[in-house]
Amino acid sequence: MKKGIELFKKNRIRITQQRLLVYRLLEGSRAHPTAEHIYARLKKENPSISLATVYTILELFRTKRLVREVRIKPDRRCFDPVIEPHHHFLCRACGAIFDIDLPPCLMAEKGEAQGHAIEEFQGYFYGVCKMCKARQGRAVRSQRRR
Amino acid sequence: MKKGIELFKKNRIRITQQRLLVYRLLEGSRAHPTAEHIYARLKKENPSISLATVYTILELFRTKRLVREVRIKPDRRCFDPVIEPHHHFLCRACGAIFDIDLPPCLMAEKGEAQGHAIEEFQGYFYGVCKMCKARQGRAVRSQRRR
DNA sequence: CTAGTAAACAATAACCATTATTATATAAAA
DNA sequence: TTTTATATAATAATGGTTATTGTTTACTAG
């Protein structure tokens, strides 16, 4: 409750109902939602909210570094309230995005790669998540029994 | 010349003029061009070529693993004829994309991250390239002289 | 507390990279 | 050379995102 308000004040962001709603939804989710997801969810409780406003707010949060943009899906922008550097994993079977803890990375620590100055980085992994892997395993085994 | 033809045969890709043109342009470039770039360039010598065809050909090459798609720019698909795993760096000053050699990566080597099976990965770095850095340095120094 | 004002919002149109469609042209096989 | 499946050119359609604009709201000053 207080969290959003204090964060906004610290970052000189005007406090509005819509911004609090968007920030609190993001903060309470580990799903890396898109603007559409957030809009659909908020509309249930707050039918007057506009999709364009959700986009505008997310862009504001991004430039103020309150959220991190995740472009692991080719045609959608996803958002993550965790701003500390970390990687992401996209499951090709279920479409879920998972945070991946950072391993020690020489280039990121040095802040340069082949002479170029690194300000930011994104690590994207693609594959099948452990849940889908397990599900596929069960399906194969039950197939064999027939 | 021969390179493209043999590669197409090996991958069961029908040999056409347009495919050879696209592949040879990509192969001869380190610029990570978009479909538009490729289309604009080829159109000079071959005015009848179609942008949609360039897109179709690039998608074919991607699925056949002849090229790698690079999504380091938020709203454009870029293409790289180097399929060996490596990272990319985008210069925010000049917009150029540079290949970055891979450092040893535990997760990529093990093929798993936090239990999820990794099939592919993309590492994107953002910052200012060394050429732009040098240019900015010169500009600052000449500013001080006044 | 109220009025004033700059900023934010809702609604909707526009944008634009990419994809789909379809009639015509072409590569490879017979 | 003929045949036929496939690729291409031209163009329309798609869809996530951004721009626009009239209205509403959050903050400030009196």
For B70-85, the pLDDT digits (tens) are 999 999 999 999 999 9
Per CATH, is B1-69 categorized as 1.10.10.10?
yes
* pLDDT given at position B144: 62
- A-chain residue closest to B126, CA distance: A120
Residue A39, amino acid: Y
Instruction: Could you please state the CATH topology (level 3) that the domain comprising B84-146 is classified under.
Output: Dna Ligase; domain 1 (3.30.1490)
Element (H, E) at A41: helix A35-45
B17-23 contacts at long range (C-beta below 8 A, 24 or more positions apart): B17/B46, B18/B49, B18/B53, B18/B54, B18/B57, B19/B57, B19/B60, B21/B46, B21/B49, B22/B54, B22/B57, B22/B58, B22/B61, B23/B61, B23/B66, B23/B81
**A42: helix, strand or coil:** helix
User: pLDDT tens for residues A62-92?
Assistant: 999 999 999 999 999 999 999 999 999 999 9
The pLDDT value recorded for residue B107 is 75
- Evaluated on CA atoms A14, A20, A25, A27, the torsion sign reads positive
* pLDDT recorded at residue A144: 64
Band (pLDDT 50/70/90 cuts) for residue B31 is very high
Q: What is the mean pLDDT of residues B102-109?
A: 73
Instruction: Please give the distance of CA B145 from its chain centroid, rounded to a whole number.
Output: 40
Helix (H, G, I), strand (E, B) or coil at B15: coil
What is the pLDDT, as a whole number, of residue A79?
98
Using CA atoms, how far apart are residues B67 and B141, in angstroms rounded to an integer?
Answer: 42
The pLDDT, as a whole number, for residue A140 is: 72
- Which nucleotide is nearest to B51 if distance is taken from CA to C1'? D9
Per-residue pLDDT of chain A (146 residues; tens, 9 = 90+): 467 899 999 999 999 999 999 999 999 999 999 999 999 999 999 999 999 999 999 999 999 999 999 999 999 999 999 999 999 999 999 999 999 987 767 777 788 999 999 999 999 999 999 999 999 877 777 766 54
Q: Which of B55, B100, B116, B129 to mutate to test the interface with A (most CBs of A within 10 A)?
A: B116
What are the residue boundaries of the structural domains of chain B, listed by start?
1-69, 84-146
Confidence class of residue B3 from pLDDT cuts 50, 70 and 90?
Answer: confident
* Test mutation, A91, A125, A129, chain B, max B CBs within 10 A: A125
Q: What is this structure's pTM?
A: 0.90
